[in-house]
Amino acid sequence: MKKMMYTTLCDNLEEIGVPRNDIFIQVIEQPLENWGIKGGIPASEIIN
C-alpha cells in the first residue's frame, strides 16, 4: 500500500513539473494510542 502511495505521489508531482528524483517522502506513523476517536477513545482500544 505504501509503495503504491509513493508511486502515485511521484506521478502526480511529476505531472506538475517536479522532477521525480527531487522528491523525498517520509512517513512518520503515530501509534494508535496517540489518536483519540469516537468521542475521545484511544484508537488502539477500537481498532486492535
Which amino acid is it at 1? M
What is the pTM for the complete model shown?
0.63
**40 phi and psi angles, rounded to 5 deg:** 105, 10
Position 15 scores a pLDDT of 98
Grid cell in block for residue 21: 528524483
Ranges of the chain whose pLDDT falls below 70 = 48
Grid cell in block for residue 7: 508511486
The strand pairing partners of 41, in sequence order, are 37
Position 10 scores a pLDDT of 98
First to last CA, the chain: 19
**CA distance linking residue 37 with residue 24, whole number of Å:** 30
Position 48 scores a pLDDT of 64
